[in-house]
Amino acid sequence: FQLGARQNEEAFSAFRVIADSGNIVTVKELTSLQGETLKLVVEAVDGGSKPLTAQAMVNIHILDSINDAPTIRMTMPYGLRVAKITENAAPGLVVAHFIVDDPDSGENGVVICHLNDDTFALQKLKEAEYKVTVYQQLDRESASLYDVTITCTDGGQPPMSANVAFAVLLEDANDNAPRFLRQVYLANVTENTPGGFVLRVEAEDIDVGQNGKVTYRLGNVTSLVTSYIHVNSTTGDVRTKQPLDHEIFRELEFYVVAMDDGSPSLSTSARVIISVIDVNDNMPKVPNDFFMTIEENLPYGSLVGNIDAIDPDYGLSGKVEYQLLTDNEAPRLFNLSKTGEVRALTSFDRETRDIYDINVLARDFGTVPLTNVLHIRIVVTDANDHKPVFTFPTPYNKTIHSTIDSRFNATIARVVATDRDSGNNAKLTYSITDGGKDVFDIDPVTGRIYVMRNLYTKDKGTYDLKLFVHDLGSPNLSETASLIIIVTQGNTTAVFAAFGYNEQMIIVAVLVAFTVSIAVVVFLIVLRFVKKDRRDRRPKYTSGLPLEVKKRSPTPDDDASSDEGPWRRYDEAKRPNGPIVTSGDVSYDANDDIILFKLKLADQYKELEPEDKVSDDTT
């Protein structure tokens, strides 16, 4: 017998066959092959010259009679048994990976693994492969390091197990905001104290590194606070930049913010209240325009008002008493109590005098009292104690004249009344109560009396208007008067005056146009005669007379001729010693032309004069 040549190496090295007996025996320890089945090929060979062989397959099952412990192979970064994760790692994050081996079979090879800390969990990937994951929320500030042990145990009797330990180191996440040691910080500062240290705020951050580094600043505050307060960003010291004023704020309240340098940065805030302690540094005052009023005619002892001086100091330093000074007429007109109540010691008449000035000494009750002289003005207000008085019309001046040429809305007269009161007590309203109401009306504010319509001949006559005026006081006062209007026949001037401005301008334009037209016509007529005369101005003369005159025989009609006069005046006007000009058979005086022209021109103007004017001259 012998083993076949084609044999499994592992089987060939573990067994051999006794040639004579055919027994199969082991040649080495089979511990490593426990639980396995090996296949052997055994050959039987005869002793013939030509040996014949036969083969048989022998299955050898090696029983697992020795229980071996499992082995664990960890997969860790850099071969270290330390896993680093951030504290805000989400559940399910993989922390480690391992493979477990157990060469045993059967129950001896069934391995169960578990962890010693339920903060983490095992998840099986394959038959012998696992991963360690985060199971619960982590908090570095509670535990920064976890020692985790993996234990794998087989099912043998007794069971065998293997352990592997590794560390989980939590890296800090900026998950904690700074926390102030106190939520409210209180301090007292006396007003007017120079700027300086007030208090220190402190905050802690349990994170580490930049996440735990804390800086300070002022919260969201007004510019007024920033002008007074400074916070040191490193130490948290709160200081004043300038003296505080109790009259501006009795308490200065603001927030200080502490923030870390993490990304993103986390912050928190604390309230700071600085109480400003008052000192008596303000004297009593009243506004510059402060005044009091009292109505005229009130009786003795009437209340004028109360002086309430302003002293912004606190407590007794802001309480004020008053004293009336005697440096003017005030003590005989007014009484002033220490509390500031002013009463009248007489009855006042506004129309006589309406303003009084008094001087008052104001003093506070501070440890070191401060005083001030207050100048108070008292104004006497008006009471409606005067009725209106007509200044026109009056009993001695109440008649006006008008004409029927007055047109609609034409002003006839303006009545005037006065009232010595003031304000509404002096505002007047006019009306007509009787007489000519259908012809005349009055403006209630201005007192203008105007025509309600165009006047006609039938409107001529005398109208007695009953006028009424009252003021707007409460109760109102009134007065009456009578105005007589005499309406007579009009004239052209009155008619023209009744026209409006535009109508008057049209009339003036028409008259101017007509006058210019007449002037142009007259100028043209004169110009025509002048030209005609120039053509005839140089006739021939004989012995100083025109030739046609010397040749003409006198007739009975010559006396009626219109030319006789000019020629006669010509002979009379001719100068006897004038120079004679001779030209051929004709001789004439050099002045003849001028004299003759003037005479003829005068007669031509006379012919142009209107007949009515000639008749008037004749008459």
Same domain? For 20 and 90 the reply is no
Task: Answer yes or no: are the C-beta atoms of 615 and 608 closer than 8 Å.
Answer: no
Tally Cβ neighbours within 10 Å of residue 178.
25
Q: What is the pLDDT of residues 376-406, one digit of tens each?
A: 999 999 999 999 999 999 999 999 999 999 8
Report the alpha-carbon distance of residue 151 to residue 605 in Å, rounded: 159
> Is residue 414 one of the residues assigned to a domain?
yes
Quote the domain boundaries for residue 445.
Answer: 389-488
Instruction: Estimate the crossing angle of helix 592-608 against helix 564-573, to 10 degrees.
Output: 140
CATH number at residue 308: 2.60.40.60
Taking the C-alpha atoms of residue 312 and residue 284, their distance in angstroms, rounded to an integer, is 8
Parts of the chain with a pLDDT under 50: 492-501, 540-588, 590, 610-619
- Both 349 and 320 in a single domain? yes
83 and 166, same domain (yes or no) = yes
**How is residue 8 annotated by DSSP?**
-
How would you write 201-239 as a 3-class SS string? CCEECCCCHHHHCEEEEECCCCHHHHHHEEECCCCCEEE
DSSP string, 401-426: EEETTPPTT-EEEE-EEE-SS-GGGG
Note whether 194 and 262 are same-domain residues: yes
Sign of the torsion formed by the C-alpha atoms of 499, 505, 509 and 511:
positive
* Residue 537: strand, helix, or coil: coil
Q: What are phi and psi of 495, to 5 degrees?
A: -60, -45
**Domain shared by 157 and 206, yes or no:** no
Q: Is residue 505 part of a domain?
A: no
**Are 89 and 163 in a shared domain?**
yes
Indicate whether 160 belongs to any domain: yes
Helix 592-608 to helix 501-536 angle (10° resolution) is: 140
Residues 26, 96, single domain; the answer is no
In a shared domain, residues 144 and 58: no
DSSP 185: E
Could you tell me if 168 and 257 are in contact, meaning their C-beta atoms sit under 8 angstroms apart? no
Looking at the chain, how many residues does it have? 619
Any domain includes 457: yes
The pLDDT of residue 307 is 96
Judge if 410 and 481 occupy the same domain. yes
If phi > 0 it is left, if psi is from -120 to 50 it is alpha, else beta; for residue 256 that is beta
Beta-carbon contacts of residue 548 (< 8 Å; ≥ 6 apart): 539
Domain-terminating residue out of 254, 277, 300: 277
Q: Which residues contact 397 (CB under 8 A, 6 or more apart)?
A: none
**Is 463 inside any structural domain?**
yes
Whether 519 is covered by a domain: the verdict is no
Residue 363 lies in a domain: yes
Coil, helix or strand at residue 170: strand
Burial class of residue 260 in the structure, from the number of CB atoms within 10 Å of its CB (0-12 exposed, 13-18 middle, 19+ buried): buried
Considering the entire predicted model, what is its pTM? 0.48
* Sequence-separated (6 or more) residues with CB below 8 Å from residue 363: 284, 320, 321, 323, 369, 370, 371
Residues 377 and 350 in one domain: yes
**Residue where a domain stops, chosen among 381, 403, 418:** 381
Tell how far CA 120 is from the center of its chain: 62
The one-letter amino acid code at 179 reads R
Determine the pLDDT at residue 347: 96
| Number of domains forming the structure of the chain | 5
Q: Residue 442 to residues 73, 205, 244, 470, 481: CA-CA distances in angstroms?
A: 123, 91, 69, 14, 14
Residue 352 lies in a domain: yes
CA separation for the pair 117, 148 (Å, rounded)? 6
Q: Are the beta carbons of 232 and 198 closer than 8 angstroms?
A: no
Query: Domain check: are 162 and 76 in the same one?
Result: yes
Q: How many CA atoms lie within 13 A of 473 on its CB side?
A: 22
According to the model, what pLDDT value does residue 454 have?
A: 92
| Contact call for residues 593 and 538 (beta carbons, < 8 A) | yes
250 & 324 share domain: no
**Long-range contacts: 131-134, Cβ < 8 Å, 24+?**
131/94, 131/96, 131/97, 132/94, 132/95, 132/96, 132/97, 132/98, 133/91, 133/92, 133/93, 133/94, 133/95, 134/85, 134/89, 134/90, 134/91, 134/92, 134/93, 134/95
Q: What is the pLDDT of residue 489?
A: 87
Picking from 358, 381, 404, the residue at the C-terminal end of a domain is 381
